[in-house]
Structure 1
Amino acid sequence: MVIAKLIRIEALDTLLKEVLTGDHLCWPCTGCFVKKMAFSAAGTSSTGISQYTLERANRTRLLIENYYAQALAHCHEREKRLLKLEEKMKIEGLSESEKEIRRQIHMAKETDFLRLKRTRLTVADFTSLKVIGRGAFGEVRLVQKIDTGHVYAMKILRKTEMLEKEQTAHVRAERDILSEADCEWVVKMYFSFQDPLNLYLVMEFLPGGDMMTLLIKKDTLSEDTTKFYIAEAALAIQAIHNLNFIHRDIKPDNLLLDAKGHIKLSDFGLCTGLKKAHRTEYYRNWPSQLPKDFVTKPFGSKRKAETWKRNRRAIAYSTVGTPDYIAPEIFQPNGYTKTCDWWSLGVIMYEMLIGYPPFCSETPQETYRKVINWKQTLLFPPEMPISVDAKTTIKKFCSEPEHRLGHSNGVEELKTCHFFRGIDWNNIRKCPAPIRVDVKSIDDTSNFDEFPDADLRIHAEDYSVPSVTFNAASPGRL
Structure 2
Amino acid sequence: WLRFRRESRLCGVFSLIKGEYETTSSGCRKQKCYKIASGVSRETLIDAFLQLYQECATPELMKIKHVANFVNKYSELVAEVQELLPGKKDFEVRGIVGRGHFSEVQVVKEKATGDVYAMKIMDKTSLRSQDNVAFFEEERSILALTSSPWIPQLQHSFQDQDHVYLVMEFLPGGDLMALMNRYEDQLDESMAQFYLAELVQAIHSVHQMGYVHRDIKPENVLIDRTGHIKLADYGSAARLTSNRTVTCSKLPVGTQDFLAPEILSTLNGGPTCSYGPESDWWSLGVIAYELIYMKSPFADGTSTKTINNIMNFQRFLKFPEEPKASVQFVDLLQSLLCGSRERLGYEGLRSHPFFSSVDWTNLRHALPPFVPSLRSEDDTSNFEEPERPPRPAAAAQRDHPRSGFHGRDLPFVGWCFSRALSALAKSESVGAGLNSPAKTNSMEKKLHLKSKELQDTQDKCHKMEQEISRFQRKMTDLESVLQQKDVELKASETQRSILEQDLATYITECSVSDAKKLEMHRLQDILTINAMDNKMKSLEQRIAELSEANKLAANSSIYTQKNMKAQEEMISELRQQKFYLESQAGKLEAQNAKLEEHLEKMSQQEQSRKSRILELETRLREMGLEHEEQKLEIKRQVTELTLSLQERESQISSLQAARHALESQLQQAKTELEETTAEAEEEITALRAHRDELQHKFDALRDSCSVITDLEEQLTQLTQENAELNRQNFYLSKQLDELTVESEERLQLSQDVDRLRREAADREMHLSNQKQNIETLKTTCSMLEEQVVELESLNDELLEKERQWENWRSALEDEKSQAERRTRDMQRLLDNEKQNRLRADQRCTESRQAVELAVREHKAEIVALQQALKEQRLKAESLSDTLNDLEKKHAMLEMNARSLQQKLETERELKQRLMEEQGKLQQQMDLQKTHIFRLTQGLQDALDQTDLLKTERTDLEYQLENIQAVYSHEKVKMEGTISQQTKLIDFLQAKMDQPTKKKKGIFARRREEVGVTANSAAAASSQSSVPLQYGDMKAALEKERVRCSELEEALQKMRIELRSLREEAAHFKAQEHVAPPTPASARQQILMSAIVKSPERQPNPSSLLNPSSSARRKESSTPEEYGRRVKERMHHNIPHRFTVGLNMRAAKCAVCLDTVHFGRQAATCLGTHTQIH
TM-score (norm 2): 0.27
Equivalent in the alignment of 1:67: 41
Distance 2:181 2:249 in 1: 27
Q: 2:212 aligns with which of 246, 253, 256?
A: 246
Check the 8 A contact 2:214/2:236 in 1, yes or no.
no
Distance 2:412 2:30 in 1: 19
Task: Give how far 1:11 is off.
Answer: 3.7
Check the 8 A contact 1:137/1:158 in 2, yes or no.
yes
Q: After the TM superposition, which residues 301-450 of structure 1 pair with which residues of structure 2 at under 5 Å, given as runs?
A: 322-333=255-266, 334=272, 335-406=274-345, 410=346, 412-450=347-385
SS at match of 1:403: coil
Task: Give how far 1:462 is off.
Answer: 6.6
Aligned length: 332
Distance 1:399 1:8 in 2: 55
**1:189 alignment partner AA:** L
Q: 1:150 aligns with which of 105, 112, 115?
A: 115
Equivalent in the alignment of 2:1162: none
In the TM superposition, what whole-angstrom CA distance separates every residue of 1:126-152 from its partner, at most 9, and x where no partner exists? 111111101122100001111111110
List runs of 5+ in structure 2 lacking aligned partners: 1-27, 46-82, 238-247, 267-271, 403-407, 423-1173
SS at match of 2:157: strand
Equivalent in the alignment of 1:309: none
Asked if residue 268 in structure 1 is aligned to residue 242 in structure 2, the reply is no
Q: 1:68 to 1:403 in 2, by over 3 A?
A: farther
Q: Give the number of the structure whose residues are more often helix, by fraction.
A: 2
Distance 1:70 1:194 in 2: 13
Task: Give how far 1:364 is off.
Answer: 1.6
Distance 1:9 1:343 in 2: 49
SS at match of 1:324: helix
Check the 8 A contact 2:176/2:222 in 1, yes or no.
yes
Q: 1:453 to 1:130 in 2, by over 3 A?
A: farther
Distance 1:355 1:156 in 2: 33
Distance 2:30 2:219 in 1: 41
Task: Give how far 1:356 is off.
Answer: 1.4
Equivalent in the alignment of 2:124: 159
Q: 1:472 to 1:269 in 2, by over 3 A?
A: closer
Asked if residue 192 in structure 1 is aligned to residue 169 in structure 2, the reply is no
Check the 8 A contact 1:130/1:453 in 2, yes or no.
no
**2:413 alignment partner AA:** F
Equivalent in the alignment of 2:735: none
Distance 1:392 1:155 in 2: 39
Q: 1:213 aligns with which of 172, 178, 183?
A: 178
Q: 1:472 to 1:423 in 2, by over 3 A?
A: closer
Equivalent in the alignment of 2:138: 173
The percent identity for this pair of structures is 36
Q: 1:474 to 1:354 in 2, by over 3 A?
A: same
**1:471 alignment partner AA:** G
Distance 2:307 2:278 in 1: 19
Task: Give how far 1:280 is off.
Answer: 7.0
Q: 1:343 to 1:380 in 2, by over 3 A?
A: same
Q: 1:134 aligns with which of 75, 99, 107?
A: 99
Q: 1:390 to 1:9 in 2, by over 3 A?
A: farther
Check the 8 A contact 1:196/1:462 in 2, yes or no.
no
Q: 1:166 to 1:181 in 2, by over 3 A?
A: same
Task: Give how far 1:260 is off.
Answer: 1.2
Distance 1:225 1:429 in 2: 15
Task: Give how far 1:471 is off.
Answer: 2.7
Q: 1:423 to 1:69 in 2, by over 3 A?
A: farther
SS at match of 1:368: helix
Q: 1:244 to 1:463 in 2, by over 3 A?
A: same
Check the 8 A contact 2:137/2:415 in 1, yes or no.
no
Q: 1:450 to 1:8 in 2, by over 3 A?
A: farther
**2:344 alignment partner AA:** L
Higher-Rg structure is 2
**1:329 alignment partner AA:** E
Equivalent in the alignment of 1:469: 412
Check the 8 A contact 1:9/1:65 in 2, yes or no.
no
**1:121 alignment partner AA:** P
SS at match of 1:405: coil
SS at match of 1:400: coil
Q: 1:224 to 1:470 in 2, by over 3 A?
A: same
Asked if residue 201 in structure 1 is aligned to residue 166 in structure 2, the reply is yes
In the TM superposition, what whole-angstrom CA distance separates every residue of 1:183-230 from its partner, at most 9, and x where no partner exists? 100011100010110010000000001011111221111001100000
Task: Give how far 1:385 is off.
Answer: 1.8
Q: 1:13 to 1:321 in 2, by over 3 A?
A: closer
Check the 8 A contact 1:196/1:463 in 2, yes or no.
no
TM-score (norm 1): 0.63
SS at match of 1:128: strand
**1:244 alignment partner AA:** G
Check the 8 A contact 1:119/1:475 in 2, yes or no.
no
In the TM superposition, what whole-angstrom CA distance separates every residue of 1:90-120 from its partner, at most 9, and x where no partner exists? xxxxxxxxxxxxxxxxxxxxxxxxxxxx961
SS at match of 2:166: strand
In the TM superposition, what whole-angstrom CA distance separates every residue of 1:320-345 from its partner, at most 9, and x where no partner exists? 98401111101223211001111110
Distance 1:322 1:8 in 2: 50
Q: 1:322 to 1:242 in 2, by over 3 A?
A: closer
List runs of 5+ in structure 1 lacking aligned partners: 1-6, 15-60, 72-117, 272-278, 284-319
Q: 1:472 to 1:362 in 2, by over 3 A?
A: closer
**2:375 alignment partner AA:** K
SS at match of 1:199: strand
Q: 1:206 to 1:371 in 2, by over 3 A?
A: same
Task: Give how far 1:13 is off.
Answer: 11
**1:327 alignment partner AA:** A
Task: Give how far 1:464 is off.
Answer: 3.7
Distance 1:9 1:399 in 2: 54
Q: 1:364 to 1:474 in 2, by over 3 A?
A: same
Q: 1:321 to 1:168 in 2, by over 3 A?
A: closer
RMSD, matched Cα: 3.4
In the TM superposition, what whole-angstrom CA distance separates every residue of 1:442-473 from its partner, at most 9, and x where no partner exists? 00000111136899xx99x7774931332364
Distance 2:38 2:254 in 1: 38
